Homo-oligomer: A and B are copies of this chain.
Amino acid sequence: MQTEILSEERLEEWAEFLKALAHPIRLKIISVLIEGKQCVKNLSELLHTSQPNVSQHLSILRSKGILGCKRDGSIVCYYIKDERAVEIYKILSKEA
């Protein structure tokens, strides 16, 4: 018998990870970033959402390690850091 391979902390962590992805805007951010890195302003336009709102969602994804970002002058580019996000996105988009 496996002595708790499935620890409570592990489950919590996975739930947090999924919760971070479980929002329409954040899923769309993933779908955009799969195509390549983007700055906040572009994301804001592509998502038809206000800049502060996008920043908040980006912050949530970044805090979970799903996204990374790199400052270039006054522009900040976001990219996907955790490939599990891509895998999950592909599972979702697979079926029709």
Contacts and interface: CB of A to CB of B under 8 A. Distances in A.
A31 B12 CA distance: 14
Contact of A11 (B8, B24, B91): B24
Interface residues of A, number: 24
A14 B84 contact: no
Given A6-B28, A8-B24, A24-B11, A17 B84 contact: no
Interface in A11-48: 11-12, 14-19, 21-24, 26-28, 31
A88 interface: yes
11 contacts: A6-B28, A11-B28, A12-B24, A14-B92, A15-B24, A18-B21, A19-B19, A21-B22, A84-B91, A84-B92, A87-B91
